Amino acid sequence: MKVPVLIPRIFDHPHTYLSGKFNKLKPGSIVSVPFGKDEEIGVIWDRQEETNRKFKIKTILEKSKFSFNKNLIKFINWFSVYNLVPKGMVLKMFLGDKSFLKESSDKFSQVKIKQKNKFDLNKEQAKSLQEINSFGNNFSVTLLQGVTGSGKTIVYFEKIKESLKKNKQVLVLLPEIFLTNQFNQRFEEYFGFKPAIWHSKITKKNRRNIWQNIINGKLKLVLGARSSLFLPFKNLGLIVVDEEHDTSYKQDDGIRYNARDMAISRGSIENFPILLSTSIPSLETYNNVKNGKYNFTKLEKRYKNFSLPNTEIVSLNLDKKNKNIWIDIKTLNLVRTYLEKNEQVLFFLNRRGYAPFMICKGCGGKLECKNCSIFLTFHKHLKKAMCHHCGYKTEINRKCGKTKLNCEFQMYGPGVEKIFYELKQIFPEKNIRILSSDFLSKKKETKNLLEDIEKNKVNILVGTQLISKGFNFPNLNCIVVVDADFSGMGFDLRSAEKNIQLYNQLSGRAGRFSKDSLIVYQTFDPSGKTLKNILENNQEKFLHEETLLRKEKNLPPFSRLIAIIISSKNEKESFSEAQKIKKNLSQLNKIDILGPVSSPIFKIKNNYRTRLLLRFNKDLFAQKALHKMLKKINISKKIKLTVDVDPLNFS
Ligand SMILES: [Zn+2]
Ligand SMILES: [Zn+2]
């Protein structure tokens, strides 16, 4: 008998094999087959692809004891069409490593739901849970919204508990950065067993163990980053997407997809409910609630009625900027009152390193990356300049064009290291630490620093965006936002949304245990619109206005976008190929093609990048036509073409 087998390589169709001695092969069966000179693992697929080519059909070698749920095949087919990724490459993500199939692994014991502590729901939480339950156990999407500290987690824990009781598997998706020990512990305390943790850094053995026990259905609860969406669950009954607004659900390199949106597709295909949780929803989700596509439930009160932090605006003047001083005297006075009480202060600045750019006093030269079209950032602890895109590092000694000595660089703009040194001069006796990815490369360092913070051994913390996530610092009662003008943060259509999210999360870090917590915003523009929105703290109003703006400009969610990125080692070729592709694509009906334009960061890792942006009506599914057309176009082998459906990153 002939059977279609999809191979986890860059093919969009299954290959034909003979079933040989295996007569119980069904779609989803995992098999090994001869492929070229190799042996390859594949999955029996649902449909035979017609082909006119004649070649010798080979026979299946082995059948694994593992098999995919047949709904998974439907999901992979859908994922492939939607994101314009070959089916084989999607399958590859589900199959993981070949060793997953061979060696058997430890048993996983994830049984017994026994709560160690008693967690009582308050009235509001109980009501919310009841609402969620009323939406049933078939496919639907529900948004669970609540301010930081309102106890959303406990509500969805209860929902998870019910699914587990029905013997269903449950997946909780989290942005990778949130998968902290603190968070995992909460699960353990609540459910009385360890959830399986899945992210990019777990060991191979652990990976195999989880994979095998997921596919055989023994493992019930997984807490994972976006890649856990590609686990072959046997009997999935619920996906919770926590922090649903977080843009890191979108994978921006390799295979591009949005894990939140694909989780919803998976729920729809396998017919189970999806629960999205956040304190401020993404505009897309907000709009889907407004137009009735998603269910909605909200927690209004902060747990135990803690109040939100107070705010203070400190207006900076340009004179300070010229002297390269970034902390105002008014800020220092506010900060001192907290330090005197032995409470922690955080200086927040979303910029790594010491200075984002430097100019030579002699020749006026700037340091740019040799691989990318961006300035290098000076890192004082490394005594080197670094590119934040490709990681290129260089000494800053170079012959000056004017003075015949070495260039004498003047540093401009603040980075976290600059703030650190500024603070060190003012508070020499205080313990000041930096929390940014450059200083936390090792797991142990991170753990030590977090412990020191929790035990109040750190007085002042200087941190990047890393700090706004998931951590819980009991003594932190004052936050200084060094640059509330968000300068240098780049621009895309979601800038305002991202800033609101960031500052909302920050305010969640302060004063979880105190009533007189404070956030200080330093700004050159005290009447700026984004800052006004933040201080007003009227999220409904912000989301409503932002929706109107998007509608007026015909941007998502009122239209759909697909970006095409053409990159090449050759500057001219990148652009001319883009023009050629545009010309071909313009035959497509009802699709606007914007561009070609050079990417805002034109050169990355020595590749010149040109972009096209396709815009079309939100009810049109343009992927199929686009896919067909792209296959027809004779694209130069020297360029790399990337398709990004629903792009979030426009750099
Ligand atoms: Zn670079
Ligand atoms: Zn110079």
Q: Give per-residue pLDDT as tens, 336-354.
A: 999 999 999 999 998 899 9
Q: What share of the chain is helix, strand, coil (3-state, %, to 5)?
A: 35, 25, 40
Find the ligand nearest to 605 CA. Answer: 1
Q: How far is the CA of 404 from the centre of ligand 2 (A)?
A: 8
What's the whole-number mean pLDDT along residues 540-545?
89
What's the whole-number mean pLDDT along residues 139-155?
90
Q: How far is the CA of 405 from the centre of ligand 1 (A)?
A: 26
| Model confidence at 611: pLDDT above 60 | yes
* 400/562: higher pLDDT: 562
Summarize pLDDT for 196-246 with one digit per residue, the tens: 999 988 888 889 999 999 999 999 999 999 999 999 999 999 999 999 999
Q: How far is the CA of 258 from the centre of ligand 1 (A)?
A: 26
Q: Measured in Å, how far apart are the chain's first and last C-alpha atoms?
A: 51
Find the ligand nearest to 377 CA. Answer: 1
123-299 against 306-351+415-546: fold identical: yes
pLDDT band at 79 (very low <50, low <70, confident <90, very high): very high
| Model confidence at 553: pLDDT above 80 | yes
High-pLDDT (> 90) share of the chain, %: 58
Find the ligand nearest to 362 CA. Answer: 2
Find the ligand nearest to 607 CA. Answer: 1
Find the ligand nearest to 602 CA. Answer: 1
Contacts 24+ apart (CB under 8 A), 260-265: 260/173, 261/646, 262/79, 262/82, 262/229, 263/171, 263/173, 263/229, 263/239, 264/141, 265/75, 265/78, 265/79, 265/82
| Model confidence at 129: pLDDT above 80 | yes
pLDDT of residue 48: 67
Query: From residue 552, how far is each of 549, 557, 616 by CA, in Å?
Result: 5, 11, 15
pLDDT of residue 142: 98
Phi and psi (nearest 5°) for 489?
Answer: -90, 5
| Model confidence at 469: pLDDT above 70 | no
Q: How far is the CA of 251 from the centre of ligand 1 (A)?
A: 20
CB 360 within 8 Å of CB 409: yes
pLDDT of residue 304: 58
What are the extents of the domains in the chain?
A: 2-101, 123-299, 306-351+415-546, 353-413, 559-645
Q: How far is the CA of 439 from the centre of ligand 2 (A)?
A: 30
Q: How far is the CA of 381 from the centre of ligand 2 (A)?
A: 22
Phi and psi (nearest 5°) for 149?
Answer: 85, 10
pLDDT band at 47 (very low <50, low <70, confident <90, very high): confident
- Report how far Cα 444 is from the mean position of its chain's Cα atoms: 24
The pLDDT mean for the chain works out to 88
Q: How far is the CA of 365 from the centre of ligand 2 (A)?
A: 6
Q: Which CATH superfamily is domain 2-101 in?
A: PriA, 3(prime) DNA-binding domain (3.40.1440.60)
Find the DSSP H helices in 243-317.
Answer: 259-270, 283-290
| Model confidence at 301: pLDDT above 90 | no
Find the DSSP H helices in 139-253.
Answer: 152-165, 181-191, 204-215
High-pLDDT (> 70) share of the chain, %: 92
What's the whole-number mean pLDDT along residues 305-316?
81
Q: Which CATH superfamily is domain 123-299 in?
A: P-loop containing nucleotide triphosphate hydrolases (3.40.50.300)
Q: Which CATH superfamily is domain 559-645 in?
A: Ribosomal protein S10 (3.30.70.600)
What's the whole-number mean pLDDT along residues 510-521?
77
Protein residues placing their CB within 5 Å of the ion ligand 2: 360, 362-363, 365, 400, 407
Find the ligand nearest to 358 CA. Answer: 2
Overall fold of domain 306-351+415-546: Rossmann fold (3.40.50)
What's the whole-number mean pLDDT along residues 161-178?
91
Q: How far is the CA of 604 from the centre of ligand 1 (A)?
A: 6
Tokens of 230: 């590609």
Q: How far is the CA of 389 from the centre of ligand 1 (A)?
A: 5
Q: How far is the CA of 534 from the centre of ligand 1 (A)?
A: 34
What's the whole-number mean pLDDT along residues 522-528?
86
pLDDT band at 551 (very low <50, low <70, confident <90, very high): very high
pLDDT of residue 49: 63
pTM over 0.75: yes
Q: How far is the CA of 355 from the centre of ligand 2 (A)?
A: 17
Q: How far is the CA of 175 from the centre of ligand 1 (A)?
A: 26
Which residues fall within 8 angstroms of residue 144, CB to CB, at 6 or more apart?
128, 132, 152, 155, 156, 275, 276, 277, 278, 297, 298, 299
d(CA 508, CA 537): 13
Which residues fall within 8 angstroms of residue 244, CB to CB, at 6 or more apart?
143, 260, 276, 277, 278, 281, 282, 285
d(CA 329, CA 452): 28
Q: How far is the CA of 247 from the centre of ligand 1 (A)?
A: 23
pLDDT of residue 320: 64
Summarize pLDDT for 5-27 with one digit per residue, the tens: 999 999 999 999 999 999 888 99
CB 223 within 8 Å of CB 178: no
| Model confidence at 600: pLDDT above 80 | yes
* 252/296: higher pLDDT: 296
Find the ligand nearest to 371 CA. Answer: 1
| Model confidence at 426: pLDDT above 60 | yes
Find the ligand nearest to 387 CA. Answer: 1
Q: How far is the CA of 567 from the centre of ligand 1 (A)?
A: 15
Tokens of 337: 């009152």
Q: How far is the CA of 411 from the centre of ligand 2 (A)?
A: 13
What's the whole-number mean pLDDT along residues 366-377?
89
Find the ligand nearest to 375 CA. Answer: 1
